[in-house]
Amino acid sequence: MKVIDLESEHYDTYFKCLEDWSDEMKEAGNHKACWYHKYKEKGLRVKVVLDEENIVTGMIQYLPIEESFIDGENLYFILCIWVHGDKEGIGDRQGKGMGEALLDAAENDAKNKGAKGMAAWGLWLPFWMKASWFKKHGYKKADRDSISLLVWKPFSADASPPRWIHQKKDVSRIPGKVAVTAFINGWCPAQNVVFERAKRASAEFGDKVVFESIDTSDRDVFLEWGISDGIFIDGKQISYGPPLPYEKFIKLISKKVKKLLP
């Protein structure tokens, strides 16, 4: 294997988080591409790992924490690290040390750029992006938000731990209408799929539903709300793990529409 900086020939695979075989990823639109080209000017770094046939099998993306949805200084923040683990496409490539190679390369890169440490997020439950994996590689807890842990590894004694930025404003309702408010940052194709499904489902109900899109790739907008990605229906956030099916959005919105006064 070898770890390299992202090159243009790998863009399509990267924009779909290595799942260019997935029909679901085709629903994500071009949000990731737009986000990438915007944030590479702000210090975004992306590395991929190639196998012996020069096929992209893993990726890591990280950026200065000051440009992220985390509060911190002089750190780099890992948005995600992923080695292809599905049976479809190129098959399961996990458990071969590719994740460790990507993490080492990113940490060395951050050190060379003068960062005082590296931060990441992970789940304390045994799902995707497990916090325990980072802890095995020297990271320690900095903050917690529900099932998500913010972890970090200081490179110098004067480094300060990062903190989550929490929601700052309530999402409004609209009298006489169903309000669907969609926050989108663009960095995560799975979140982009959810955004597109919510937008498409909202359009099915005509003027009974007002769909509002809030672009949090503008960090000032994110800091105003304290929300990076999320779907709210009449001010209440919709919880989900894997992207909700389109039909589920239709059902959720339909229930609200039926409660509108005639």
In a shared domain, residues 195 and 226: yes
Containing domain of residue 202, as a range? Answer: 178-258
Q: Report residue 157 as tokens.
A: 């004694």
Give dist(CA 202, CA 44) in Å, integer: 33
For the chain, 262 residues long, the average pLDDT of each consecutive 10-residue run is 95 94 93 97 97 93 98 98 89 89 98 98 77 94 91 98 97 96 96 97 97 98 97 93 92 96 74
Which pLDDT belongs to residue 117?
98
Helix runs in 75-167, H state only: 98-112, 131-135
pTM score: 0.94
| Residue 63 in domain | yes
Beta strand segments in the chain, E: 2-5, 45-50, 56-64, 70-71, 75-83, 117-123, 140-145, 148-154, 163-164, 178-184, 209-215, 230-233, 236-237
Tell me the per-residue pLDDT of 72-82, one tens digit each, with 9 for 90 and over: 999 999 999 99
Which pLDDT belongs to residue 127?
63
The CATH number linked to 218 is 3.40.30.10
Which pLDDT belongs to residue 31?
97
In a shared domain, residues 135 and 244: no
Give dist(CA 85, CA 91) in Å, integer: 7
Give dist(CA 196, CA 204) in Å, integer: 13
In a shared domain, residues 118 and 65: yes
Handedness of CA 254, 255, 260, 262 (dihedral sign): positive
Helix (H, G, I), strand (E, B) or coil at 149: strand
Last residue of a domain, one of 117, 137, 163: 163
The structural domain count of the chain equals 2
In a shared domain, residues 55 and 184: no
